[in-house]
Chain A
Amino acid sequence: DIRMTQSPSTLSASVGDTVTVTCRASQSIGTLLAWYQQKPGKAPNLLIYEASTLESGVPSRFSGTGSGTEFTLTISTLQPDDFATYYCQQYNSFWTFGQGTKVENK
């Protein structure tokens, strides 16, 4: 099984900050990685797929990079609506998610 490890688990930031979340895969997954945003009581929402492709309708302040085993999600100029939990997901072999990174208001 491919394990996904996100860091940090919690990130405290302020509106206007640039934040970065890291996701590591236990083996190479190429670029078969997605990022999701989840707000309390809501379903996950797809942000990025193929490691760096922005889903339609997602603001351009979200960006993703990486390949192989190391990936990052960057949110530039954090907005109030961005306080949420973010999950990475590999889809190279079955599907596994990282444990999540909560972006909270400092």
Chain B
Amino acid sequence: EVQLVESGGGLVQPGGSLRLSCAASGFSFSTYRMNWVRQAPGRGLEWISYISSGNHVLYSDSVKGRFTISRDNARNSLFLQMNSLRAEDTALYYCARRYGDSNSGRYFDLWGRGTLVTVSS
């Protein structure tokens, strides 16, 4: 089955760190560009990070300098290292697959079910 499964969420104090994982299965993970998208409780969707198949990375301004995206193609896994966490980082974090390489294929065609991160003292 083609799927993405996130894990690693939990409760963390402000200023703390957390590492999220996303396990991919059913497709050739190494050839796809991947993203992290988050959704604060009751709010909309916010793209936060991207990694290409060649490890080129991008971040939104809201997480730049605090979060690090990475991947391990041998383990079919995507990661998000989150440091210096703030209350406003509280959200459901999704990993999402970018459909294709061309500009016209930059949308997200496969999403995981998300992992919840709560930043609170």
* Chain A contacts to B: CB under 8 angstroms: 32, 34, 36, 38, 42-46, 49-50, 55, 87, 89, 91-92, 94-100
**Chain A positions within 8 Å of B108 at CB level:** 34, 36, 44, 46, 89, 95
* Chain B contacts to A: CB under 8 angstroms: 35, 37, 44-47, 50, 58, 60, 94, 99, 103-104, 106-109, 111-114
Q: A44 touching B45 by the CB < 8 A rule? A: yes
- A56, chain B: closest CB distance, angstroms: 10
Provide 20 A-B residue pairs closer than 8 Å at the C-beta atoms, listed in order of the A residue.
A34-B108, A36-B108, A38-B45, A42-B113, A43-B94, A43-B113, A43-B114, A44-B45, A45-B111, A46-B107, A46-B109, A91-B103, A94-B58, A94-B60, A95-B35, A95-B50, A96-B47, A97-B46, A97-B47, A99-B44
